[in-house]
Structure 1
Amino acid sequence: ANNNGVLIYLQLAERAIEIVADRGLSQHVNDAQWQAMVARMSANFVQRRFEDGLTQALEEVSALLVTYFPLLPGAQKTNEMPDAPFVD
């Protein structure tokens, strides 16, 4: 409803990371902020600290969502899509 979804895409074979934010969140967070997050994640991955890198990125994205899209009093927290990682 708020167009505030975020996809963290890890292409393991190509060693590529991309963060795709929906338009609702993109109006608050610029490309440089997303690229800085990718750089921090990548630095952890180079050191083979995959869980640390991904956890940090998820925490940073969560903080942005709480800042720009706080849960309104009395509102139910619902997801339109599952949070579970998908590995193909």
Structure 2
Amino acid sequence: MSSRRDNWKKLTGWSSLAGQWLRRKHFNAAMLDRLAERIRQSEISHTGELVVAIEAVSPSHEADSEQRALEVFGKLHVWDTPLNTGVLLYLALDRQYMQIIADRGVKASDAQWAAVCAGLQQCFVQQRYEAGLFAAIDTIEIILKSACPPVPEGGRNTDDLPNTPVLL
């Protein structure tokens, strides 16, 4: 039944409108500032680099959300960190899709990332957007503390990727 409803939303353009509405209503400048600060704080305790990308309307050139997440991972240069510890949390609001993609330096399992996304999805269903994102960032921080390489001897923990969520 829900797939028929989702198909109807896509055909009528309703999913695009819903994605734009969600972004305007819930992902305002104040919320994005709070998220950026939380990401900055979380990155102090590990060498991972988290980028949050929020897409209100998915582009028509990429119908597959998983492929779109990979495209965004590359476009935003999340892979471009000294220790290969970039992590993308991708949200497609119109498709109600979320995925985490981690670079090769992060030794975390797909099941760990899927659990984060499942928790975030549940919060979004309950319309707890900010609380859900904060909880996801907290869980990602815990994973990255154990899944990322330590700071190299004599080195320092650098902040190599932007902390401000990217609106696509």
Identify the match of residue 2 of structure 1 among 61, 83, 92: 83
For the aligned residue pairs, the C-alpha RMSD in angstroms reads: 1.7
* Residues 33-57 of structure 1 deviation map (CA, whole Å, 9 limit, x = unaligned): 1111100000000000011111111
Matches within 5 A, 1:45-84: 45-69=124-148, 70-71=150-151, 75-84=155-164
User: Could you tell me the TM-score, scaled by structure 2's length?
Assistant: 0.47
| More helix per residue | 2
Name stretches of at least 5 consecutive residues in structure 2 with no aligned partner.
1-81
Is 64-73 or 9-18 further displaced after alignment? 64-73
Count of residue pairs the alignment pairs up: 86
SS of the counterpart of 1:24?
coil
Q: Over alpha carbons, which structure has the higher Rg?
A: 2
Aligned-residue sequence identity (percent) comes to 37
> Hey, what does 2:97 align to over in structure 1?
16
Counterparts of 2:87 and 2:116 in 1: how far apart (Å)?
A: 13
Higher relative contact order (CA 8 A, sep 6+): 2
Identify the match of residue 120 of structure 2 among 33, 41, 59: 41
Is the contact made by 2:108 and 2:147 (CA closer than 8 Å) also made in structure 1? no
Name stretches of at least 5 consecutive residues in structure 1 with no aligned partner.
none
User: Could you tell me the TM-score, scaled by structure 1's length?
Assistant: 0.84
